[in-house]
Amino acid sequence: MTARPPHVAPAVALLLKLDTLGDLVLFAPALGALRAAWPTTRLCVLIRRPYVDLATLLAPGIEFFPTTFDPFAQGPAADDVELTRLRRLVESLQPDLVAAATSRRNWLEVALAAVAPAARHVALGADANDEFFSTQLRVQLRLDAAQVFPEQVAVPTDEPDAQRNLRLASALLGRPAIPVPATFTLPSAARATAREFLSAQGLAPGRYVLCAAAGFANVTLKTWPADRFAATLRHAQERHGLPTLLVGHEHERTHLESLAATSRTSTAALVAPALWLGHEDSLPTLAALIADSALFLGNDTGAMHLAAALDIPVVAIFGGGTWARFVPLARRGLVLVQPLPCFGCGWDCAFGDTAAPCLSGITIADAITALDDTLAHPDAPFAVRQIERLPASTRDLIAASSSRYRSLRTEHLARQHKLEALTAFDREKDAAILEKELSIAEKEREIDSKEREINSKEVEIHAKDAEIIALKSVCDERERLIFQQHAHSKELEHTLADLTARHASALADQTQFKATLSLLPPDIALATQALADRAVHIRNIEALVILRDREIVALKALLAERDQSLENYATGHGSLEQAKRFGRLLAEKEAVLQVLNRACAERETVIQQLAADSTDSTALLRKLWLAATAHARAQWWRPCEAWLFTRVVEKYWMQIGILRHHAPKPLIWDRLPTPRLAAQTRSLPQIAVVTPSYGQEKYLERTMLSILDQQYPRLLYVVQDGGSKDQSPAIIARHAARLHAWESARDAGQADAIRRGFARLTPELGPDDLMAWLNSDDLIGPGVLHYVAEYFAAHPEVDVIYGHRIIIDENDGDVGRWIMPRHDPHVLEWIDYVPQETLFWRKRAWDLAGGIDASFQFALDWDLLARFQQAGCKLVRVPYFLGAFRVHSEQKTSQAIHTVGADEMARIRTRFHGPRQDDWTTIDAYARRTRFRGAIVARLLALGIRW
């Protein structure tokens, strides 16, 4: 067969289009152009099997041949039967023209084009090498991809696929191709199936938003986050009255059901999104559902291109992996894209495989604006809306990082291709070596057979020798046994004589003991037993005292080591982590010492009582009772108490006082009660919040937004910065319009900053208005300000409240939780356990307590709580998580607890208990009580009981 000139229409043209659904829709205008220019040519297109039913609707008059191959995921050796079938198909067609029309070159195009060597071979794009299977193509099929397609149509890297397809059609025709838009005639059966489904879901044609929020069958990374889709769809229903139909493939069920649940739980008045899940053979039904929709919202998917072909307004969210190749051929609608220097990565993202920055930068507000604009102007021309927010420095960093990453990936692929070639060569050599080894193995088997015959003779000889040796051994063993039995008989005679003598001596001792016992009083046995028990008990006490002395010596050594470590730390030669370790050891030793002190005190009391002289007739019984009760406490009660504490507290995941309970998890806040006074602004109290800050640029903005984003209508928020040298002042200034006031000036520490901040606010507050401070690295939960305001409004007798605490790390990851027991005034006198970031109080309580004490720098929150309690204020713990406490290496709590913190806590205990402030037994008891009650409350909360 002789190839025809380019301007002559071929009798048979074979087009290889092995992409996915969206690529096929974009290829339809080029197919229409070829059909119109070559009316007599037999146009054949090889496509993947799932798209055959839809392809015949897109481009009538074209013959479509299916294949089960996915050449981007399978190699030439994956299915020999299918490859043979396709080769025979090409031979039977005898094409005059073979065109590789797939967007990305692949091995299957090369393998099939090689079957028709006389045909004209044209390829879209100049890249002749398949990045993954080129080596296998050369080794298994003996084909060189670079030689099969001599005619190649060069395309710009950033040109949309629709234009590329027209370039290919123009090259095939030898003149500019005139695109023919796809004529999409839906089958009546598909329309009927779609209308039946819509009726069952309560959806009216033309009155719903069709959303394809998944579409990650090939590339997971290009999917916009589900929670953002949920928020946008809620807006579509609330603002425009358009319910949602979520569509996707059956294997996307989990993702779409989760999205539907998120949308459903937002507002009770909303209609839950309907869900349609299809298979490869249900694409016509999907097209019918799209045709009846008011608007399409989704990712870069095949469903998006179907919507464009059906003239449905499109709102699509694009990333940069393949931009701008797959821009839809839409007449109306909007595409949202955030241009970045890393575009064109092919979804091999340099910044991870969970969230591409090009997509994460497109916000819910961007999507809502695009949706509103499209619905407001449904016939406005299709446009691309670019989102550009990143500063130039960030874009430069992205450009440098992505360039370096692509360079490394190119080097990696080159090494991989070389490794594949070497592997194939090794296999050929291994086959030759295996053949030689089999021949050698056959010779060795013959030699082994001869050796076995010789060995068999030797075994017979050795067997005879073994029989002789065995008989000799039996004779020797019998002789040794005779000598041993003789020795044993002599030994038994001596033993019998010795036992007879010892028996006679025992009888004499027994007679003497009986005579002695007859001279003793009748109750001497009981007295003797009591004295013996007391002696045993005293020895046990002495052993415990020795053990305590050893512990005290070890503790003194640790204290000396701790003092030296702290001295080194103060002079700049120690390390913070070492001081923390000694502090933990000190706490453990102090706890052991307290237990030993209590045990020794109890035992010394018992000893004194037992040793006291008494002439009372019941003295003996009293001593026995005291000994028994002491023994019971030591043997049963204390072990049971320790066992119960271990089971309930120490083996439970939540422990008050521990700052890390588990590895970081996503931060999930409490669902607070629905606000009832939100619409009655004047019924709500004012809430005055102060954030003291110094050098916290890393966390400050997150803290501020956790307050400002509450949208509380009567918020008075002041940020008091201590003259930070970092970017903190710039961060505060960025939000100055939403603040009541702010200042960046040198101060005397945290307490002074809080005092200054509240001095700006207190003149504007009434007695029942609320106050709080939030440190610049902590957070409060969403909706907390409304909840707190309504709680105080409903409980006028309450002056102070606090709640549960979430512990977060530097990246806002949940690393633990403190679930607090109900408030106990007695506990507050001994230990500070109230989470400060959850604390709110009335202005009248502030006035009664006298405000903040600026002499405190560590325990200023406990000091304020103590003065609230001493002033008669009512304190209540509410059963919700109100705030998040951040743990990081620079926080003041970690650095000062064993120095300034210890002194300030001693001052507060002295205020309540005077000289008894260092009663560590009582402190430990209240701490254990709080931890035990907290564990009980946590277990109840896990069962859904807020107590």
Joined together, the tokens standing for residue 652 give 């439970």
- Say what the pLDDT of residue 575 is: 47
Amino acid identity of residue 113, one-letter, is A
Helix (H, G, I), strand (E, B) or coil at 465: helix
Token pair for 617: 């007739």
Give residue 620's pLDDT. 64
The strand ranges marked E within 279-354 are 295-299, 314-318, 333-337
In this predicted structure, what is the pLDDT of residue 357? 87
Question: Looking at residue 1, what is its pLDDT?
Answer: 44
Domains with residue ranges and CATH for the chain: 12-173 (3.40.50.2000), 188-390 (3.40.50.2000), 392-517 (no CATH), 524-650 (1.20.58), 681-942 (3.90.550.10)
Cα→Cα distances 807→576, 810, 881, 903, Å: 21, 10, 11, 26
Helix (H) or strand (E) holding 99: strand 97-100
Q: How far is CA 212 from CA 244, 283, 659, 770, 944, in A?
A: 10, 13, 42, 46, 36
Residue 127, pLDDT score: 60
Q: What is the pLDDT of residue 573?
A: 42
Q: How far apart are CA 662 and CA 162, in angstroms?
A: 52
CA nearest to 216, candidates 98, 90, 354, 84: 354
Query: What 3 state SS string does 289-307 have?
Result: HHHCCCEEEEECCHHHHHH
Q: What's residue 350's pLDDT?
A: 77
Find out whether 791 and 801 touch, Cβ atoms under 8 Å.
Answer: yes
Distance CA 766, CA 769 (A): 5
**What local confidence, expressed as pLDDT, does residue 57 receive?**
85
Beta bridge partners of 886: 808
CA distances (Å), 616 to each of 521, 608, 621, in order?
18, 16, 10
Cβ(826)–Cβ(925) below 8 Å: no
CB-count exposure of residue 226 (10 Å: 0-12, 13-18, 19+): middle
706-729 burial, b for 16+ CB within 10 Å, e for fewer? bbbebebebbbbbbbbbebeeebb
| Strands (DSSP E) found in 135-279 | 151-153, 209-212, 244-249, 274-278
User: What is the phi-psi region of residue 243: left when phi exceeds 0, alpha when psi lies from -120 to 50, beta otherwise?
Assistant: beta
Q: Quick one: which H or E segment has residue 564?
A: helix 524-570
Q: Which runs of E-coded beta strand occur in 819-947?
A: 840-842, 875-886
Q: Where are the beta strands (DSSP E) in 767-829?
A: 770-773, 779-780, 800-808, 814-818
10-residue averages of pLDDT along the chain (947 residues): 63 94 91 94 94 86 93 86 95 95 88 93 74 66 80 89 93 92 86 95 95 76 89 94 94 89 64 88 93 95 93 93 88 94 81 79 94 94 92 83 74 64 64 80 85 84 81 76 71 74 75 64 53 61 71 73 60 48 58 61 61 55 68 74 86 90 94 77 90 95 97 96 95 96 94 96 96 97 96 96 97 96 94 95 96 90 95 97 91 58 87 86 91 94 93
CA 578 to CA 572: how far, in whole Å? Answer: 13
Q: Which amino acid type is present at position 739?
A: L
Strands (E), 832-918: 840-842, 875-886
In this structure, which amino acid lies at residue 811? N
Q: Where are the beta strands (DSSP E) in 731-791?
A: 741-744, 770-773, 779-780
Instruction: Tell me the CA end-to-end span of the chain in Å, nearest whole number.
Output: 88
**Cα distance between residue 570 and residue 567, in whole Å:** 5
Q: What is the DSSP string of 408-442?
A: HHHHHHHHHHHHHHHHHHHHHHHHHHHHHHHHHHH
Q: Could you tell me the pTM of the whole model?
A: 0.48
What is d(CA 319, CA 348) in angstroms, rounded to the nearest whole number? 12
Please choose, from the candidates 521, 450, 827, 471, the residue with its C-alpha nearest in 3D space to the C-alpha of residue 656.
827
Asked if 762 contacts 689 with a C-beta cutoff of 8 angstroms, the reply is no
